[in-house]
Amino acid sequence: MIVAHTADRDPASDKETTQVSAALDLIKDKCIRGKRAELTEAVKSALAEGVDAKDIMLQGLIPAMAVVGERYSSGEFFLPQMMIAARAMSEALEFLKPHLLNSSYQQRGKIALGTVAGDFHDIGKNILKIMLEGGGYEVIDLGVDTPPEKFIDAVRNESVQVVLMSALITVTMESMRVAIRALEEAGLRKSVIIGVGGAPVTQKFADEIGADFYSPDAYGAVEKCNALLN
């Protein structure tokens, strides 16, 4: 490992790194506390300072939601605080979206994406959608609380090549198993690639329910789609 001697370090780049991490810390803090307007302002100024949109998402907004989850688990936060933070995150994400999308559009394939039955969490799904569109895919967003029939319709009537299912609650992971079984029973399982994800989902669970792939994050999901389709 090369460790730069203090005297060799470029003070200008050190200053820049400090500014970036301060901007990301501010974004994280505003998101955790659900300060919608201040969060959007912080995101705007970070972008103006040249902070990368992906860094804002990966090092600011997503870790903020993890902290919110921890605080909810420990009893420090209650449902309203979780909701306020989620609303702030969704608003910031909407603002960030054009900066995350790749302008060079390619038609790589068609994907249906939904949060499974019983589950209303959609932030991860929405990030996945932005990343997939940025990667050149056409995405049919089936929304939240998606019953198996909606996945079936998308495969049958929209000729999607990939179905992606998101679940954030341990109990709703079972809805993935049910949806995959329904696709099998409809005779459609072999005509589609199925990917699963969401915070509680694991590779082991994906294997157990017969999914084709699992990814812990949205970037990995795009890479898996690229590898499996192209």
Stretch that binds ligand B12, among 2-10, 27-35, 40-48, 166-174 (CB under 6 A): 166-174
Question: For the window 48-67, what string marks contact with ligand B12 as x by the rule CB under 6 A?
Answer: --------------x--xx-
Q: Is 128 in the site for ligand B12 (CB under 6 A)?
A: yes
Tokens of 91: 């608003």
Q: Are 61 and 25 in contact (CB under 8 A)?
A: no
Per the DSSP assignment, residues forming a β-bridge with 109 are: 137
Identify whether the C-beta of residue 20 lies closer than 8 Å to the C-beta of residue 55.
yes
When asked if residue 7 is in the footprint of ligand B12 (CB under 6 A), the reply is no
DSSP assignment of 145-208, as one string? EE-HHHHHHHHHHH--SEEEEE--STTTHHHHHHHHHHHHHTT-GGGSEEEEESTT--HHHHHH
Choosing from 60, 135, 148, 197, the residue that interacts with ligand B12 (CB under 6 A) is 197
- Would you say 38 or 72 has its CB closer to ligand B12? 72
Please name the residue that has the structure tokens 């019953």: 147
Round to whole Å and give the CA distance between 215 and 122.
Answer: 16
Residue from 102, 170, 191, 203 in contact with ligand B12 (CB under 6 A): 170
> Is residue 34 at the binding interface for ligand B12, with CB under 6 A as the rule?
no
Q: Residues binding ligand B12: what is the number (CB under 6 A)?
A: 38
Q: Which stretch binds ligand B12 (CB under 6 A): 18-26, 38-46, 112-120, 181-189?
A: 112-120
Residue 142 touching ligand B12 (CB under 6 A): no
Helix (H) or strand (E) segment spanning residue 17: helix 11-32
Maximum alpha-carbon separation in the chain: 68
**Among positions 34, 114, 124, 148, the unique one binding ligand B12 when judged by CB under 6 A:** 124
Is 116 a binding residue for ligand B12 by CB under 6 A? The answer is no
Q: How far is the CB of 44 from ligand B12 (least distance, A)?
A: 21
By beta-carbon proximity to ligand B12, the closer residue of 16 and 169 is 169
Is 169 among the residues that bind ligand B12 (CB under 6 A)? Answer: yes
Q: Mapped to the 3 state alphabet, what secondary structure does 25-73 carry?
A: HHHHHHHHCCCHHHHHHHHHHHHHCCCCHHHHHHHHHHHHHHHHHHHHH
Residues lying near ligand B12 in the complex (CB under 6 A) are found at: 62, 65-66, 68-69, 72-73, 79, 82-83, 86, 90, 118-125, 127-128, 164-166, 168-170, 195-200, 215, 217-218, 221
